[in-house]
Amino acid sequence: LIKYMYFCSSAFRLPVPKLEDTITRYLNAQKPLLNDDQFRKTEELAHHFEKGIGRELHEQLVAQDSQNKHTSYITGPWFDMYLKAREPVVLNFNAFMSFNPDPKSEYNDQLIRATNMTVSAIRFMKTFRAGYLEPEVFHLNPERSDTQIFKNIIRFVPSSLSWFGAYMVNAYPLDMSQYFRLFNSTRLPKLNKDELYTDEKAKHLLVLRNGNFYVFDVVDRDGNMLQPSEIQAHLKYILSDNSPAPAFPLGYLSSENRDTWALLRKNLLDNGNEEALQKVDSAVFCLSLDDFPVKDLVHLSHTMLHGDGANRWYDKSFNLIITKDGTAGINFEHSWGDGVAVLRFQNEIFKDSTTAPAISPQSQPASVDSSRAVQKLDFKLNDALKAGITKAKQKFDGTVETLSLNLVQVHEGGKNFLKQKKVSPDAVAQLAFQMAFFRQYNQTVATYESCSTAAFKHGRTETIRPASVHTKKCSEAFVRGASTHSTEELQKLIVECSKYHGRLTKEAAMGQGFDRHLFGLRHLALSKGVALPDFYQDQAYAQLNHNIISTSTLSSPAVQLGGFGPVVADGFGVGYQVHDDWIGCNVSSYPTRNGKEFLQCICKSLEDIFNVLKGKKIGS
């Protein structure tokens, strides 16, 4: 077995791009968003920055990076960005991914699934902590590298050279430094900047049901997992507890503005709740058991993205949510890590809980005294805390009420057909979003696509900028002038978009985007107390970072769908999956934008793109 730490010592460091490349890429991203006069002004500021203060900051960043070879240049600034943000984590940062149902329908019972997934999660944690979790490797050419032969050969390569050995066969071992925060971790609210807290010694699970908090040990003092039948017994006990919902559910506090929550937390601690809060913060993870079944995919998305606010603890590294009908999902806090780590965890626990379930529908819970093993946490609340919870609930309910979620599955085609036509599936999905927005609002706006840089030591993410002069030209041709262009001309425009998007994706994945570099330079200027350069005060810079279309994709046999809130009040949050034969989109929006209409425009765009690729004539 290759241990997950095996590749760490030889992992490549995240490169700091050349400043001139960053400026060129930045201007390329600005071009479709600005008119000629605006672009000239932005170009002038950018070149002035490149020759002057930008050059000085870049040199300082490179020097600082070479003195911190244990990490990446983006790590500190990126943690700061997340932890200094004062907005509530729910809807602004936390994302969700829901699991597919267990293929064996009788295993989708709430108690059975909660037990099996909890056991699989603890198995994963123990495997990881023992150092036996297989490395996460991205295989560009799986036929050559995702094989037993490769694993056998790479074992004999010294670990200091192992990354290079994998690289030779187009396999990229991914950074796994975030994984330790999956368990026993929480984000603590503090004034001005939150803290990440991890206590690996804690042995208990936190379970939320009906707004009540319960804890019980899932690992014994020797580090062994409790018997699955005991975990089943304790969960059954919690599910049959008919305690009323608390009049002031504490969960709402974790949905508050971070400074407000920090002050309320101090009040909680001063009011004799230190031990109970410590149990919450240090728990292995939070299991949220909901008392209702899921009605449809929209209801599923609302449940997993925000829920009712009382039965979640949004600050935990993740909440494993299981509804009355056994539908499961994960809502995760984003500061500690990215989707890559959470997805690996989800894939493993889905596979383990469905192929090697710890208990079956016939299994009997152990005859143990759960009333002694399970502790219901009791919080002492004064009037100020009660008022704080009431206000947090009002704000939470008010925000959630304004959130729209709209879903669609387009069955025109998917990965298989697009690859056959030699165009990138991701590029086509992104082109459809550009075309849809152009059809709906007659403009091209700042767009964000998340790309992992986990192929590098302590890599996080980089931004792909899908709105380009190519997508703008293509959108105009399809929306305004389809009748004046031949099918061949439209096909050519799609291919151009695909090639350009492919280039942007490759650059971003190799740490050669421009967003993180500019972000790092800005962070450095502010930390040194330098006056913020004019370049960053340009309205066009602010506009580019006001991401009206924010997108993220993932596909996995374990995941049914994923989603997140809009990152700006007048934006769309687009979670999408490109499957072999269909494309799924999950769009979030607030009242300033019509998500339903945007989704209809996406469907129309995908239909048009597929028809053109099939050689059919389309009308505007």
Catalytic residues: 334
Beta pairing, strands 375-376 & 212-217 = antiparallel
Q: Which structure tokens are listed for 421? A: 């036509």
H-state helical runs in 10-66: 19-30, 36-51, 53-66
Question: What distance in Å separates the CA atoms of residue 225 and residue 122, rounded to the nearest whole number?
Answer: 7
Reading the block at residue 122, the tokens are: 């603890």
Q: What whole-number distance in Å separates Cα of residue 361 and Cα of residue 102? A: 13
90 and 396 Cβ atoms separated by less than 8 Å: yes
Phi, psi at residue 61, to the nearest 5°?
-65, -45
How many residues does this entry show for the chain? 620
Smallest CA-to-CA distance from 77 within 96, 95, 57 is with: 57
d(CA 304, CA 302): 6
Residue corresponding to tokens 């074992």: 155
What pairs with residue 406 in β-bridges?
Answer: 587
Rounded to an integer, what distance in angstroms lies between the CA atom of residue 39 and that of residue 36? 5
Q: Are 569 and 547 in contact (CB under 8 A)?
A: no
**Measured between alpha carbons, how far is residue 168 from residues 145, 161, 456, 603 in Å?**
10, 11, 16, 41
Q: Distance (Å, rounded) from C-alpha 129 to C-alpha 141?
A: 30
